[in-house]
Amino acid sequence: MTLGFYSELEKQLRFNRELAKIVVEKIKGLFTEYTVKTGIERLKIMDFCGTHEWSITYYGLRSLVPSGMELVAGPGCPVCVVPSHYIEESIKLALDGVVVYAYGDVYKLRARRSVRGAYSLSEARSLGGDVRIVQDILSATRDAAGHGKPSVFIGVGFETAAPAYAWSILRKHLPVNLKLLILVKLTPPAMFYSLEVSREKPTEPPINGVIAPGHVSTITGAKAWTPVSENYGLPVVISGFEPLDVLVSILEIMKQLVEGKAETVIEYKRSVSWHGDLRAQNAINKVFEVVDDAWRGIGFLPKSGLRLREEYRLYDAFYEYGVRELKPVEWEKDMPPGCRCAEVVLGKAYPTQCPLFMKACTPQKPVGPCMVSIEGTCAIWARFGSRDLLLRITNEVKTSKG
Ligand code: SF4
């Protein structure tokens, strides 16, 4: 019964074209009203989650919104922001005989410097390192318990990944030979930083509204984003991931802009509550401490990462293997030459503005980190195109015919 209801709802959200047309017309109407009222003709809305960027690009939502409205992606891909330093440290572990467990996209992520000839865990494996791809920590746990060799699981992710890591410790699931290299990042500090940066360039339209992440908010609750509406004066909508979810969220942002409001609103009510998942939050707080952390291409952001608390050192790969923490003094943006990923993750550049996009850098042979993961903006644009890209290709075809 419940399943039936949800599948019906999903179907409507996905395929209700008539409803989509109505929402799009309303967005256009409000956009015109806002322009007439304020004289502002360009608006920028930032989505913060790789899956939102995927929906926007895959379903071509940019082609539906008014031409003066830009939809830009923020730092919503946890793999894209893992500093090269930690990839290098993981490669070292693999080449020193430790079994390393990594997600598929972390496995392909390229470091800035090679470690004994390897730039990635994938290359470390071809040089003899024992690197195993897993989809979750449970698979690593089972596998490591089976062979008993010294092992490390690379725990990348945002707030959504942290509960599983915490529970694996609290429920004593981890075998003694498996240690965790926890590299979890917290999203609100990165959003606040993106908003600051968007105000630095007076020629650019600043960000006028935010589509906040749905999955992360399931854990943190909508309350995590109230500083965006209260301190930055921007409408925030926590959105689901179907195309209609995103369109309705844009409509809500436009409605608030026209009414001069700045509120945090939940559109993704079927999953997100105001206070979030308290059980998950408790587990996270128990096991992890909040630290200043480095984001690749961005820098050190205060209180933006999680590491295991001292009492859980038994499980900590940093402690067990002397993995070195990156220090603010040695921070460098660590992007490959020519890569504009640092700007892409802050919504300051589109992937198509990078000279390497789909030339030297492709999903098959990624140069920068945004081209690796399916949540990376460059990888999404490469796979599913963009209005900008389509227009350019159309013009090129027209010119070559002419
Ligand atoms: S296309 Fe590749 S090189 Fe360019 S910004 Fe994206 S990831 Fe970096």
Q: Could you please report the per-residue DSSP string of 198-267?
A: HTT-TTS----EEEE-HHHHHHH-GGGGHHHHHHH---EEE--SSHHHHHHHHHHHHHHHHHT---EEES
State the Rg of the chain over Cα. Answer: 22
Q: Which residue has the higher pLDDT, 123 or 333?
A: 123
- Give the tokens for residue 358: 């789909």
Average pLDDT over residues 242-253: 95
Of the candidates 199, 201, 215, 193, the residue with the CA atom closest to the CA atom of residue 268: 215
- What pLDDT score does 242 carry? 92
pLDDT-derived band at 4 (thresholds 50, 70, 90) equals very low
Query: For residue 257, what are the contacts with CB-CB under 8 A and spacing of at least 6?
Result: 30, 34, 43, 208, 209, 235
- What pLDDT score does 1 carry? 31
The residue whose CB lies within 8 Å of the most ligand 1 atoms, and thus the one to mutate among 72, 79, 84, 339, is 339
Residues in the chain: 402
Average pLDDT over residues 316-324: 97
- What pLDDT score does 104 carry? 95
Which CA distances in Å does 247 have to 19, 57, 134, 237, 350? 10, 13, 34, 11, 21
Sign of CA dihedral 280, 282, 283, 284: positive
CB 111 within 8 A of CB 86: no
Average pLDDT over residues 184-200: 90
Ligand 1 is surrounded, with C-beta below 6 A, by: 339-341, 344, 351, 354, 356-357, 361, 367-368, 370-371, 378
Q: State whether residue 288 is helix, strand or coil.
A: strand
| CA–CA distance, 108 with 10 (Å, rounded to integer) | 33
**Is residue 18 scored above 90 in pLDDT?**
no
Nearest CA to ligand 1 atom 1: 357
| CA–CA distance, 393 with 386 (Å, rounded to integer) | 11
| CA–CA distance, 308 with 288 (Å, rounded to integer) | 5
Average pLDDT over residues 85-97: 97
Ligand 1 atom nearest the C-alpha of 378 is: 6
Tokens 């490390």 belong to residue: 152
**Is residue 254 scored above 70 in pLDDT?**
yes
| CA–CA distance, 119 with 108 (Å, rounded to integer) | 9
Of the candidates 280, 262, 263, 169, the residue with the CA atom closest to the CA atom of residue 215: 280
Dihedral (Cα; 364, 367, 370, 376), 10-degree rounding: 0
Ligand 1 atom nearest the C-alpha of 358 is: 1
**399 C-alpha to ligand 1 centroid (Å):** 27
Q: pTM of the prediction?
A: 0.90
Percent of the chain at pLDDT above 90?
A: 80
- Give the tokens for residue 330: 């040695």
**107 C-alpha to ligand 1 centroid (Å):** 18
| CA–CA distance, 66 with 31 (Å, rounded to integer) | 7
**345 C-alpha to ligand 1 centroid (Å):** 10
Residues facing 63 on adjacent strands: none
Of the candidates 326, 325, 377, the residue with the CA atom closest to the CA atom of residue 347: 377
- Give the tokens for residue 289: 């401490």
* CATH class of the structural domain 84-187+276-330: alpha beta
Of the candidates 261, 302, 296, the residue with the CA atom closest to the CA atom of residue 34: 261
- What pLDDT score does 12 carry? 56
Q: Which residue has the higher pLDDT, 13 or 170?
A: 170
- What pLDDT score does 5 carry? 43
**391 C-alpha to ligand 1 centroid (Å):** 20
Tokens 């690593």 belong to residue: 140
**Is residue 257 scored above 60 in pLDDT?**
yes
pLDDT tens, position by position, 92-107: 999 999 999 999 999 9
**207 C-alpha to ligand 1 centroid (Å):** 22
**Is residue 6 scored above 50 in pLDDT?**
no
**57 C-alpha to ligand 1 centroid (Å):** 17
Q: What is the CB-side half-sphere exposure of residue 340 using CA atoms within 13 A?
A: 16
**378 C-alpha to ligand 1 centroid (Å):** 6
The residue whose CB lies within 8 Å of the most ligand 1 atoms, and thus the one to mutate among 110, 362, 367, is 367
Segment (H or E) for 390: helix 387-401
Query: For residue 242, what are the contacts with CB-CB under 8 A and spacing of at least 6?
Result: 10, 13, 14, 55
Average pLDDT over residues 354-374: 94
- Give the tokens for residue 390: 């389509």
The residue whose CB lies within 8 Å of the most ligand 1 atoms, and thus the one to mutate among 341, 372, 373, is 341
Of the candidates 40, 344, 315, the residue with the CA atom closest to the CA atom of residue 179: 315
Which CA distances in Å does 266 have to 217, 222, 224, 225, 340? 9, 7, 12, 11, 33
Query: For residue 239, what are the contacts with CB-CB under 8 A and spacing of at least 6?
Result: 47, 52, 211, 212, 214, 245, 246, 248, 249, 267, 268
Tell me how far apart the 2 most distant CA atoms of the chain are, in Å: 71
CA 20 to chain centre: 26
Which CA distances in Å does 329 have to 59, 83, 292, 324? 43, 14, 13, 14
**Is residue 386 scored above 70 in pLDDT?**
no
Q: Which residue has the higher pLDDT, 200 or 245?
A: 245
The residue whose CB lies within 8 Å of the most ligand 1 atoms, and thus the one to mutate among 361, 372, 373, 380, is 361
Q: Report the chain's mean pLDDT, rounded to a whole number.
A: 91
| CA–CA distance, 83 with 104 (Å, rounded to integer) | 17
φ and ψ at residue 230, rounded to 5 degrees: -80, -45
